[in-house]
Amino acid sequence: MSSAMDTTIAAPRTKPAGPPVSWAWLGTLPFFLFVFAFLLLPSLTIMAGAFRNPNGNFTLDNIAGLFQPLILESYRTSIELSVVTAVVGASLGALLAYAITWGGLSGRIRSGVITFSSVAANFGGIPLAFAFITLLGRTGALPVFLRNVFGIDLYAAGFSIYTVQGLILAYLYFQFPLMLLIMVPAFDGLKREWLEAATNLGGTPFDFWRYVGLPILLPSFLGATVLLFGNAFGAYATAEALTGSKVDVVTRVISRQIRGDVLYNPGLSYALAFGMVVILAISIALYVGLQRVTARWLR
């Protein structure tokens, strides 16, 4: 009798059969459709067009055209502009992120800074160019004020908003806040108990930031800097509206090759876009790798 009961108790229980097909994947379907329609499909179209001539045959002439001096100069200008605004914006954004997280500033200041940064990081294009022309143009508010009140003529001294330097100022307007929004969660991820533990073990706050804080934040900082580089490298409307034909960045050269009457060359525009895709893909790969390192540290 007891052996029969033991056999009954030891028998495995069968789980109720679940649905044969999971419908949870339907929630991701719009995302994958969006990625395919607006990322993968355009990228594949660009890659195909970069290696085709007007007759649809395979050619390397479009890729060879990238080595023209004017096109190489546009790539150099875009890369320099992106590097400068990424490094300066990342440095300023990280310092401000530290100030509103670990610097002891009030919650109201933090809330106000983050709110403004959320708006400024998404403010670009023609409205941003118009705002900078209104403020720093030859007849803008600031140059006129300095000239009338202090006798300082910015444009006579060599400054111009319609140059690469003007583009740097305009790009920093959205690069700086974007870096802040990225770095605030990274600073919040640092536990204050780590600082207390370092102090109890005889260390100083400088020792904590040197041996603990900065090594943990470095991958996140570098990853965000790479993201800022890609953000500036792909910008078009701000440069077009602010500088026009005075500064050639890659995006403007692509626009001229597609819409121009004299410089019309769709194949070369595809090759230019293909070069941008390669550079941005490298930037994204670096960003993803550095973010994985950061996530491992913050577990």
In a domain, 14, yes or no: no
In a domain, 166, yes or no: yes
Cβ neighbors of 272 (< 8 A, separation 6 or more) are 66, 71, 250, 253, 254, 257
User: Contact 268/254 with Cβ under 8 angstroms?
Assistant: no
How many whole angstroms separate alpha carbon 90 and alpha carbon 220?
11
Question: Which of 8-12, 30-34, 212-216 is predicted with the least confidence, judged by mean pLDDT?
Answer: 8-12
Q: What is the pLDDT of residue 21?
A: 60
User: Contact 243/159 with Cβ under 8 angstroms?
Assistant: no
- The pLDDT of residue 234 is above 70: yes
**Among 156, 293, 166, CA closest to 238:** 166
Report the CATH number at residue 261: 1.10.3720.10
pLDDT band of 151, cuts 50, 70, 90? very high
pTM summary value: 0.83
Tokens of 268: 């070369």
Q: How far is CA 113 from the centre of its chain?
A: 19
One-letter identity of residue 296 = R
Q: What is the pLDDT of residue 192?
A: 87
- Give me the chain's average pLDDT, please: 86
Compute the average pLDDT of residues 61-86: 93
Q: Which residue has the higher pLDDT, 12 or 46?
A: 46
Tokens of 74: 């546009």
User: Contact 51/60 with Cβ under 8 angstroms?
Assistant: yes
- The pLDDT of residue 7 is above 70: no
In a domain, 29, yes or no: no
- When computed from its CA atoms, the radius of gyration of the chain, rounded to whole angstroms, is 27
In a domain, 257, yes or no: yes
The strand pairing partners of 52, in sequence order, are 58
Give per-residue burial for 80-98: e unless 16+ CB within 10 Å, then b. Answer: ebbebbbebbbebbbebbb
- For residue 180, how many C-alpha atoms fall within 13 Å in the half-sphere facing its CB? 27
Q: What is the pLDDT of residue 167?
A: 93
Q: What is the DSSP letter of 203?
A: -
Q: Is 122 helix (H, G, I), strand (E, B) or coil?
A: coil
Cβ neighbors of 216 (< 8 A, separation 6 or more) are 189, 190, 294, 297, 298
The tens digit of pLDDT for each residue in 171-205 reads 999 999 999 999 999 999 888 898 889 888 888 88
In a domain, 75, yes or no: yes
In a domain, 49, yes or no: yes
% of the chain surpassing 90 pLDDT: 47
Tokens of 132: 């900078």
In a domain, 24, yes or no: no
Count structural domains, the chain.
1
Domain span including residue 134: 40-297
- The pLDDT of residue 256 is above 90: no
Q: What is the DSSP string of 233-275?
A: HT--HHHHHHHTTSS--HHHHHHHHHH-SSS--HHHHHHHHHH
How many whole angstroms separate alpha carbon 172 and alpha carbon 170?
5
In a domain, 282, yes or no: yes
How many whole angstroms separate alpha carbon 95 and alpha carbon 15?
55
